[in-house]
């Protein structure tokens, strides 16, 4: 029977498992609430920066070379002649495209061998509860936390692809104004440095997204070849397609107390959502848990007499993460709105700006360093 947990983590996704492993290394007694096994194939892949890679490598959970493909080039096309090219300054890559099932398996294996972590079918009492249940968090709703949501008029369509032309470690993205609104197509390299597989994230107006899901596999591949201008040759669908609505969202409170006085905090998608156009989603969630783990680790040296759920630490965590994330939210939302604007004058300016940015070497180098974490 589980007794006297220090931390109870609600949500055993990648953010929850990473946090459990970080806190277990501090010899804290951690309970991890498990969810039902997925019945469908997860077709997602994430773009992870160097900070996320360092964190997962430290936990010995970084996937092998076939499941973590370094991106050496990032090419972005605007909707009327705009273009920007980013090249990695090092052989390591600008970022890494990581296969979600492979990363989940690594984290699950590490959790299984960590004695300080107890897997729980249901939440248990603890000094601190960390809510990592995702964007539809039931606990967040039960706590009455207001989740400010700005829905975009887009749905993401995700799938796995096989291409006749090797990706050559390129991440490719196109902005396009279709008849129904803004479309953002991203093809991300998978299968290692020499691979010819790709992860698709296609942000489309809702009705257009539904139409794409209704197409046959062959017709869907043809539509992708057209949208990507044949850059990767013949495209073959190799998985089911997934779809979900896109939004910008943030909880108004990230920390508080239960009726019994114990504390809670939000992390990952339970606290914030962002448009996938910059590939920052999981990086932000991992940064949340890294900050929370650092705050609790600092307690050992100076404030060991305080509980892990002391409001002093929770407020420090909330302030640090919100301050760090506001510029990212504003930048991603601003970029999405800029390209969603239908005015032809705005279209000309944004593509002129993209080309100008591409020629400003020092500014582009700074932007790459920020994106690389």
pTM of the model as a whole: 0.89
Assess if residue 220 is contained within a domain. Answer: no
CB 56 within 8 A of CB 62: yes
**pLDDT confidence tier of residue 99, bands split at 50, 70 and 90:** very high
Residue whose C-alpha is closest to residue 109's, from 11, 20, 8, 199: 20
The model's pLDDT over 26-82, given as tens digits with 9 standing for 90+, comes to 999 999 999 877 777 889 999 999 999 999 999 999 999 999 999 999 998 887 777
Residue whose C-alpha is closest to residue 246's, from 340, 313, 318: 340
Assess if residue 209 is contained within a domain. Answer: no
pLDDT at 105 over 60: yes
228 pairs with which residues across the strands? none
pLDDT at 354 over 60: no
The model's pLDDT over 258-268, given as tens digits with 9 standing for 90+, comes to 988 899 999 99
Instruction: State the chain's mean pLDDT as an integer.
Output: 88
Domain CATH number, residue 70:
3.50.50.60
The better pLDDT of the pair 351, 52 is held by: 52
3-state secondary structure of 345: helix
Which residue range is the domain that position 303 belongs to?
A: 5-150+246-371
DSSP per position, 40-87: S----EEEE-HHHHHHHHHTT----TTTEEEE-EEEEE-SSS-EEEEE
Structure tokens of 324?
Answer: 């760090």
The model's pLDDT over 311-338, given as tens digits with 9 standing for 90+, comes to 888 999 999 998 887 777 677 766 676 6
pLDDT at position 357 is 52
pLDDT at position 173 is 93
φ/ψ (deg, to 5) at 44 = -80, 155
Sign of the dihedral defined by the CA atoms of residues 231, 232, 238, 242, in that order: negative
Non-local (6+) Cβ contacts of 161 within 8 A are 187, 197, 198, 199, 200, 221, 224, 235, 236, 237, 238
Domain count, the chain: 1
* CA distance to 13, 16, 237, 292, per residue, from 108 (Å): 9, 11, 28, 21
Average pLDDT of the residues in 139-155: 93
Assess if residue 217 is contained within a domain. Answer: no
pLDDT at position 344 is 60
Tell me the percentage of the chain whose pLDDT exceeds 70.
86
Assess if residue 235 is contained within a domain. Answer: no
The model's pLDDT over 286-310, given as tens digits with 9 standing for 90+, comes to 999 999 999 999 877 666 667 888 8
Average pLDDT of the residues in 167-195: 92
Assess if residue 200 is contained within a domain. Answer: no
Assess if residue 71 is contained within a domain. Answer: yes
Least confident stretch, 83-92, 192-201, 235-244, 341-350:
341-350
pLDDT at position 363 is 47
pLDDT at position 366 is 54
Ramachandran region, residue 353 (left: φ > 0; alpha: ψ -120 to 50; beta: rest): alpha
Assess if residue 160 is contained within a domain. Answer: no
**pLDDT confidence tier of residue 271, bands split at 50, 70 and 90:** very high
CB 4 within 8 A of CB 124: no
Assess if residue 66 is contained within a domain. Answer: yes
DSSP per position, 248-275: EEEES-SEEE-TTS-EEEE-GGGTEE--
Name the helix (H) or strand (E) containing 13: none
**pLDDT confidence tier of residue 2, bands split at 50, 70 and 90:** very low
């Amino acid at each position: 029977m589980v007794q006297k947990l220090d931390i109870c983590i609600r949500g055993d996704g990648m953010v929850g498992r990473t946090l459990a492993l970080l806190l277990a290394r501090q010899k804290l007694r951690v309970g991890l609430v498990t969810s039902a096994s997925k019945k469908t194939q997860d077709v997602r892949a994430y773009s992870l920066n160097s900070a996320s890679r360092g964190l997962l490598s430290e936990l010995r959970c970084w996937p092998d070379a076939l499941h973590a493909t370094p991106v050496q080039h990032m090419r972005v096309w605007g909707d009327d002649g705009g273009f920007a090219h980013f090249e990695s300054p090092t052989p390591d890559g600008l970022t890494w495209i990581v296969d979600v099932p492979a990363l989940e398996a690594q984290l699950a294996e590490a959790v299984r061998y960590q004695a300080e972590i107890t897997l729980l079918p249901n939440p248990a009492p603890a000094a601190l509860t960390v809510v990592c249940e995702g964007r539809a968090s039931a606990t967040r709703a039960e706590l009455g936390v207001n989740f400010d949501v700005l829905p975009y008029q887009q749905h993401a369509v995700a799938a796995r692809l096989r291409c006749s032309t090797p990706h050559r470690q390129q991440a490719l993205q196109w902005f396009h104004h279709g008849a129904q609104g803004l479309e953002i197509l991203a093809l991300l390299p998978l299968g290692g440095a020499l691979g010819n597989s790709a992860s698709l994230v296609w942000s489309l107006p809702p009705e257009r997204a539904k139409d794409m899901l209704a197409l046959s596999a062959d017709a869907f591949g043809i539509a992708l070849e057209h949208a990507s201008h044949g850059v990767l040759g013949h495209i073959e669908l190799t998985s089911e397609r997934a779809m979900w609505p896109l939004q910008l969202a943030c909880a108004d409170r990230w920390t508080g107390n239960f009726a019994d006085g114990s504390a809670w905090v939000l992390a990952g998608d339970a606290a914030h959502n962002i448009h996938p156009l910059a590939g920052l989603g999981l990086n932000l969630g991992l940064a949340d848990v890294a900050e929370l783990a650092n705050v609790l680790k600092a307690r050992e040296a100076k404030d060991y007499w305080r509980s892990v759920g002391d409001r002093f630490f929770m407020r420090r965590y909330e302030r640090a993460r919100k301050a760090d994330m506001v510029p990212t939210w504003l930048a991603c939302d601003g970029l999405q709105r800029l390209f969603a604007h239908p005015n032809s004058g705005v279209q000309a300016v944004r593509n002129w700006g993209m080309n100008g940015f591409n020629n400003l070497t020092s500014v582009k180098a700074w932007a790459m360093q920020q994106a690389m974490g």
